[in-house]
Amino acid sequence: MIPLTFAETGAENMVKKVGGNPETRRFLEELGFVAGSTVTVVNTMSGNVIVSIKDSRIAISEEMAAKIMI
């Protein structure tokens, strides 16, 4: 398992685990980052990671992306 921050741009990955405190995990799970879901890194810019998940594009901070294991 590696953090989402190390994923290749354009590669489709499966979320294996979401870490962090309960509040952070709940926030990420509400965005669709749950174990078994598919996520693709679209771009990284200015400390943010833009991902495609569940037919949506979401920008999350590198700190949040580091808590998502693929």
- Full-prediction pTM beyond 0.85? yes
40 phi-psi bin (left φ>0, alpha ψ -120 to 50, beta other) = beta
pLDDT, tens only, 38-67:
999 999 988 899 999 988 999 999 999 999
pLDDT, tens only, 11-34:
999 999 999 999 999 999 999 999
Domain ranges of the chain: 4-69
CA 8 to chain centre: 12
Helix segments in 1-70, DSSP class H: 22-31, 62-65
Name the CATH topology of 4-69.
SH3 type barrels. (2.30.30)
Q: What per-residue confidence (pLDDT) applies to 31?
A: 92
Q: What per-residue confidence (pLDDT) applies to 8?
A: 92
Contacts of 59 (CB under 8 A, 6+ apart): 48, 49, 50, 51
